A = this chain, B = another copy of it.
Amino acid sequence: MSNMEIAVTRKVAGEFLGSALLTIVVVGSGIAAQQLSTDIGLQLLENTLATVFGLAVLITVLGPLSGAHFNPMVSFAAVVERTLPLRDALCYLPAQVAGCVLGAVTANVMYAKAAISFSTHNRVSGPHFLSEALATAGLIFVIIALQRVDRGAWSAAIVASYIGAAYYCTSSTSFANPAITVGRMMSDSFAGIAPGSVLFFIAAQILGGVLGLVAVNLLWPRTNEIR
């Protein structure tokens, strides 16, 4: 990451914009899928492909500016890995949450729904906790591992593909991001999450993020012959 010297205001603006656009893609395609398809698996397929496409675009264009995190756990991992100053991460966090909320509201308006319509989709269960922890662990593992094996240039395609796989193979559909979890609380759709499940998901995501960091550092120790 050679973007250490970019003004933090521009980087924060990039995180805000990217988080908003990502949430528009996730929530908007979730609403569209629910309105247009009857089979739930097909709804998830439509939601997944839109998210994969959108994430690849956003990481490609905003990666060189802000790192294209859109996710406090990714920013936290970057601080631990010393590729992002803690000061920047503290500015990223509110921008990411605000962007995700704005994105959910925009998607609602774009589909003629109430701007803020809280989800009633309860997602508290043991299997969901395990799913979110694993999904976040895998996301952090993949992002850091790409840097360790000198394939950071592939991150747009690989992180998007990771989400494409994780949406389908976890029972929670892999939110894996505390900011978008808050945003999706405000969408009464297929892609929503009830307010009462949000802290539960965020706890799983924090645990998973730490696990992912531990795993990647076990497999590629800092002072290793191959980075």
Contact = CB atoms under 8 A, between A and B. Distances in A.
Contacts of A42: 37, 39, 41-42, 45
Contacts of A60: 146, 149, 151, 154, 158
Contacts of A207: none
A29 interface: yes
Nearest to A47: B168
A interface secondary structure, majority: helix
A168 B46 contact: yes
Please tell me how many copies of the chain the complex holds.
Answer: 4
A95 to B, nearest CB: 13
A126 B112 contact: yes
A135 to B, nearest CB: 10
5 contacts: A44-B46, A57-B162, A60-B149, A62-B145, A112-B125
